[in-house]
Amino acid sequence: MEMAAAAFFRPGAAERKKPASMEEKESLLNSKEKDCSERRPVNSREKPKEEIKLTAKKEFIKVPEDKKKIKEKKKTRNARKKKKKSKYIAEAVASIVEAKLKISDVNCAVHLCSLFHQRYADFAPSLLQVWKKHFEARKEEKTPNITKLRTDLRFIAELTIVGIFTDKEGLSLIYEQLKNIINADRESHTHVSVVISFCQHCGDDIAGLVPRRVKSAAEKFNLSFPPSEIISPEKQQPFQNLLKEYFTSLTKHLKRDHRELQNTERQNRHILHSKGELSEDRHKQYEEFAMSHQKLLANSQSLADLLDENMPDLPQDKPTPEEHGPGIDIFTPSKPGEYDLEGGIWEDEDARNFYENLIDLKAFVPAILFKDNGKKLSE
């Protein structure tokens, strides 16, 4: 025990256990940490920082592709987009042209076409081409749809007025269709309602028309209506000439039917006076012809007002005495010697002698009959 205590209390041992200052402690710790780091083996999973940075860069770097391949991809992508858009526009245009619209639906359809035109630059040319094909196919129809034709003309006129079609495109298409209608309808005039509808709705802008009743109202109230300036007067003049030519042919048709109607009425009067009645077929034909004539007359008056043209004179025939056949008119007795054989009331000389020269019945009746009559009278 004494030896252990003596070793413990040796001055050299105490100095080794207790450092002299804080600086010595820090230097001692640093030296120990350095020795441990040098002795520690490198883990295979851990990599140096520089190598980690290089690998990260290598992961995000892409190999540059060929420029031609990039251009080809862009072209195919754009072609697909154009193909989808063109297919969509084609379907929309076909639906618009083939739609069975009414006159009241035209304004809404024009607004829809305006929205398409603002979004797609290819819409207006596609619509124009489809309209042309549609009209070409319509030429082969034996019985065209008048309602569809009336609506289509106004539709194209409105598209031209709002500017979706240019003046050259729209006006040429309208003029061509009107010309085809008028050339094919110069005799029958079955499409006169189409022309009247066109003049009513688009005549002021396309042809510069001012109806006569509007002019008369303006003169009556001292007003003036400014003309439409959408289309120049030079472009409106061909439409005016075309419509006036159609009205001239319409008036000729009206005069011809009026003369035929007058002849039919004259013949019917003659048959009534001679036979006392008309057959059912003849009466039915007359009523149908009279109704068609009245309809043609009303259409002619409407078109004359729209074009500011005068209606033709349609004189009414008065029945003459010759239509009543042979006989004496007891309501208008004539003076002796007023009628002669030519144009008189007698068909020939025998008829005149029969009525003017009375026969003496005593020359033909037996005398015994007179005696019996005398006895009966005396009794």
The tens digit of pLDDT for each residue in 197-249 reads: 999 999 999 999 999 999 898 888 888 878 888 899 999 999 999 999 999 99
Q: Which CATH class is domain 185-315?
A: mainly alpha
pLDDT attached to residue 336: 44
Q: Which residue has the tokens 């359809």?
A: 109
The domain segmentation of the chain, as residue ranges, is 81-183, 185-315
Contact 97, 131 (CB under 8 A): yes
Which of 10-24, 156-170, 365-379 is predicted least confidently?
A: 10-24
Distance CA 258, CA 294 (A): 10
pLDDT digit string, tens, across residues 314-326: 888 766 655 545 4
Q: Average pLDDT, stretch 108-137?
A: 92
**Max Cα–Cα distance, the chain, nearest Å:** 220
Per-residue pLDDT at 301 exceeds 80: yes
Single-letter amino acid, residue 25: K
What Å distances lie between residue 21 and 16, 32, 67, CA to CA?
12, 17, 73
pLDDT attached to residue 279: 85
Under DSSP, the state recorded for 61 is P
Distance CA 91, CA 112 (A): 14
Contact 242, 301 (CB under 8 A): no
pLDDT digit string, tens, across residues 22-78: 666 667 666 666 665 555 444 444 444 444 444 444 444 444 556 666 666 666 666
Per-residue pLDDT at 166 exceeds 60: yes
Distance CA 192, CA 195 (A): 5
Residue 130 φ then ψ, to 5°: -70, -35
Q: Give the burial class of 80: count Cβ atoms within 10 A of its Cβ; 0-12 exposed, 13-18 middle, 19 or more buried.
A: exposed
End-to-end CA distance of the chain: 217
